Chains A and B, each alone.
Chain A
Amino acid sequence: MRRSLLALLLVLTFACSLPAAGRADCRMRLHEKVALLGGMDDPDVFVWDSQFRLAGYQTGTYDVAKALLPHAWVVPPGTRAIVLACVPNFVHPRYRGFTDDALRIVMLNGPYRGKSGWVMSQDMRRMHFR
C-alpha cells in the first residue's frame, strides 16, 4: 500500500513537472507544423539545447547571453519543424515588455534535420502543410 502511494506521488510529481504541451494558453499547439523565422533585422533563428538556456539568453545580461552561445545553433529561416512541447510564458525577454512561450521542436529539413531544441514562439510561423 505504501509503495503504491509513493509510486502514485512520484507519477503525479513527474506529470506536473512535464512541459505543459498543448495547453490552451500556449500560442502553438502540440504537434503543430511550423517554419522557423527570426526578426526583420536577422531572420536566422537560435535553437537552444535547453529551455533554461533559451530563457537565460533572453533574460540575462550581455555577458551571460554571450557565454551561452556554444549551446545554440543558428538555423536558417524557413527551416520546418514540429512542436513537441510547450512551456507557456517561460521566457521574459530583457528588453521587451512581454513574456513568450518556450517550445521544444524537432527540425524536419535543413542542415539540422532531425535535431531537437528549444525556441520562442515568436521565432516561428504556422505552416499549413503535411
Chain B
Amino acid sequence: MKQRYASVWLRRVLPVGLVAALVVALWGAYEAHSNVSATFDRQTQIQAAQVTLEEMVTFQIDEENSVRGFIATKDPFYKQGYVEAVGEIAIREGRMRAALLAQGLTDLQGQMDDYIASQNDWRTHVADPTIADPNLHTDDVDKRGKFYTDQESHISTSVRNALAEQNKRLARDTLASINLWTWISVLGFAAFGVISFWMANANAAARRELGRDKTTIETLQTAYLSQTIPLPYCEIGSAYAAASSAFAVGGDVYDMYRLSERNALIMIADVSGKGVDAAVLTAFIKFTIRSIALRRPEPGRILAEFNTAFAHAYTVDNPSLFVSMFVGVLDPEASYMRYASAGHDSAFIRRSNGVQQLAVTGPVLGVMEEPFETRTVQLADGDTIVLATDGLTEARYRNGELLHEQGAMDLIERSSADPQRMADELVAQVRVMGGNHMRDDLAILAVRLLGARGQDA
C-alpha cells in the first residue's frame, strides 16, 4: 500500500537536515570556543613576552645606572649591581627569544640580535673599561655610551610596539573568526528551529490527515464487515476493534454468507497493508470471495481463483502486497466444515476437550500461483469455530512478549461458550494485555454449532 501520511521529505530529508543543522550549530559554537581558547593562550604568551621585555629594559637601566653610580661614587656596591643585572638580562634574553619564536615573530629575532650586540658593545667599550678605571671616563666614552643606550632604547621600543601590534592583530583576527563562527552557529540553531517548526507542522498535518483517514477507514471497515446473519443450527458472534494508532488501521475483514439452504460461507482475511487502500481492498475481497463461492463452493478452488484475480488486480502494481485468508464452507446440519487456509493460522475450533488449531493449507495470496488444499473437519454439537486476524496471535503483553497461537488457544479455552460473549472477551483481553492499547486491528468471528436439538431449544 502506498505510504501517504509521512512523505520521504518528512521522514528522511527533514530529520537529516535537523541533525545537520544541529551539528553545524554545535560545530560553530565549538570553533568559536576553540578560537577564544587559542587566542587566550597566545595573548598570555604575548603578555609574558611583554613582561619579559620590560624586565630586560629595567635591568638594562639598572646596569647603566650601576655604572654611572660607580663612576660618581667609586662604591663597589654598584659594581655588584652591574654584575647581577648582566646575569638577569641573559636569562630574560633566552625567554624573550623563545616567546618571539612561539609567536612566529621571526623578524624580531634580528632586532633582538641588534639589541644584544649593542649591549655587548656597551659593556666592552663603555662599562667594563670604566669600571676597571673610572678615571678613563672621557667624552668619547660618554658618546659611545649614549649611542649604545639609544640603540637599545630604540630596539626595545620597536619590539614593544611589535608585540602590542601582534596582540591587536590577534584580537582583531580572533574577533572576526568568533563573529564568523558565532554567525554560523546562530544560523545552525536558527535552521534547527525552523526545521523543527516545519517538522512539527508537517507532523501535525499528517496526524490531522491520518485522523480523517482513520475515521474513513473505520467507517469502511464497519460497512464492509458483515452483520451477523442467522444460520440454521448455529450461534454467531463477531467483534472488531481498530488499532489505537491510526497508522495501523485497515485491512481486516470477515464475512458470513448463506450459499444455499445447507451451506454457509465463513471467511476471514488480513491484508498486508494498512490505511484507506487496505480498507477498500477488503471490500474487493469480500465480494469477490462471495462471487466465486456462489459458483464453486469449494474452499481450495475459491482461494485459487481469488489468488488469480487478486494478482491481476493488485499485485502487478504492488508486488509486496499479500493477503492471508481462511475460507470455510460450513454444513451445520451435517456437522462438518470444508476449509482452506492461505497462510492464515489464526483459525481454531474449541471443542469440549480443548482447542484445536486448523492447519494452513497453502501460501498467502498474491505471492505465487499455487493450488490450495481443501480439508474437511468434523464438528460436534457445541463446537465453536473461532476465526481471528493476527491482532490476536500477535498481541503483546506489556513486557513485549507475543501471545502466539498457544496463548490465543488458552484465551479461547477460558472464554465464555456464547460466541458473541467469547468474541467480546477476546477483544477485551487483548486490550487489557496491551494496557488499553491496541497495536493492530483485531477481527473475531465465532460460530458455535448447536445441532438440531439446540436449534429447536
Report which A residues bind B (CB closer than 8 A). 38-42, 44, 46, 62, 65-66, 69, 72, 74, 93-97
Contacts and interface: CB of A to CB of B under 8 A. Distances in A.
Contacts of A44: 142, 146
Contact of A41 (B61, B117, B143, B158): B61
Nearest to A66: B147
Which 8 pairs across A and B sit closest by C-beta, in order of nearness?
A95-B158, A95-B154, A42-B149, A41-B153, A74-B142, A74-B146, A74-B143, A44-B146
Contacts of B61: 40-41
Contact of A96 (B60, B117, B145, B158): B158
- In this complex, the member of B118, B143, B144 whose beta carbon has the largest number of chain A beta carbons within 10 angstroms is B143
A74 B146 CA distance: 7
B155 A95 contact: yes
Tell me what chain A mostly uses at the interface: helix, strand, loop, or mixed: loop
A95 B158 CA distance: 5
Contacts of B149: 41-42
Contacts of A96: 154, 157-158, 161
Contact of B143 (A39, A40, A69, A93): A69
Contacts of A97: 161
Nearest to B118: A62
A46 B139 CA distance: 12
Nearest to A111: B139
Interface of B: 57, 60-61, 64, 111, 114, 117-118, 139, 142-147, 149-155, 157-158, 161
A46 B153 contact: no
A57 B111 CA distance: 17
- In this complex, the member of A39, A46, A62 whose beta carbon has the largest number of chain B beta carbons within 10 angstroms is A62
Contact of B146 (A42, A62, A93): A42
- In this complex, the member of B57, B149, B152 whose beta carbon has the largest number of chain A beta carbons within 10 angstroms is B149
Contact of A72 (B57, B143, B155, B161): B143
A43 B173 CA distance: 39
Given A42-B149, A46-B147, A94-B154, 6 more contacts: A41-B60, A42-B64, A69-B144, A72-B143, A96-B158, A97-B161
A74 B143 CA distance: 6
A66 B146 CA distance: 11
A97 B60 CA distance: 22
Nearest to A39: B153
A41 B57 contact: yes
B155 A41 contact: no
Contact of A62 (B142, B145, B151, B157): B151
A127 B268 CA distance: 118
25 contacts: A38-B146, A39-B150, A40-B61, A41-B61, A41-B64, A41-B149, A41-B150, A41-B152, A42-B146, A42-B149, A42-B153, A44-B142, A44-B146, A46-B143, A62-B114, A62-B151, A66-B147, A69-B144, A72-B143, A74-B139, A95-B111, A95-B154, A95-B158, A96-B157, A97-B161
A66 B122 CA distance: 12
